[in-house]
Amino acid sequence: MSGAGPPEPARRVRVTSPRRGAARRGPARPVTTEIDEQTGLGEVYMAALMRAQLRLSVSVLVAAAVLLATLPVLFLVIPATREVRIWLVPLPWLLLGVLVYPAVALAARYYVRHAEAIERDFTDLVDVGEPDERPVSGP
């Protein structure tokens, strides 16, 4: 395999390129294997997933709790809010009887979207190491 002078360095570059690719592809062993075998690395991935999900859950709950818990405080501290009427309906009745439901539904939708995004990111991260999905060639 001896060729002409000028192309020689170019061929040497091609020899190094798979190694760069390998480094970009992540670990040689798929992450799923790390998780399955419960190695330290697998545990790190799992802990990260659970932490992200729990952080999302807790923030949605805290936001909902703060909003709900402030309503009675509002009624207690500013008694005038109990007397306000909007189109015959007293404000507390409007808030607790009607407006609270769309708010809860919005919170639920926010949670579902973000929880699914976290799972997508996790799948992308973990699936990179899958042998059958590894790019065969390319830059």
In the complex, the residues that contact another protein under the rule CB under 8 A are 32, 35-36, 38, 43, 46, 49-50, 53-54, 56-57, 60-61, 64, 68-69, 72, 75-76, 82, 88, 90, 92-93, 96-98, 100-102, 104-105, 107-109, 111-112, 115-116, 119, 122-123, 126-127, 130
Q: Min. distance of Cβ 116 from another protein in angstroms?
A: 7
Apex CA 118: angle with CA 115 and CA 122, to 5°? 140
Of 20 and 25, which has the nearer Cβ to another protein? 25
The nearer residue to another protein, 102 or 138, going by C-beta atoms, is: 102
Residue 66: CB minimum distance to another protein, A: 13
Helix (H) / strand (E) containing 85:
strand 85-86
**Smaller CB distance to another protein: residue 22 or 68?**
68
Q: What is the closest distance, in whole angstroms, from the C-beta atom of residue 27 to another protein in the complex?
A: 16
The 8-class DSSP code of residue 132 comes to: G
* Paired tokens of 61: 């709950």
Nearest distance from C-beta of residue 46 to another protein, angstroms: 6
The rounded distance, in Å, linking the Cα atoms of 80 and 135 is: 67
We find the least distance from the C-beta atom of residue 10 to another protein, in angstroms, to be 40
Sign of CA dihedral 82, 85, 86, 90: positive
Report the C-alpha gap between 104 and 64 in whole angstroms. 8
Rounded CA separation 80/65 (Å):
23
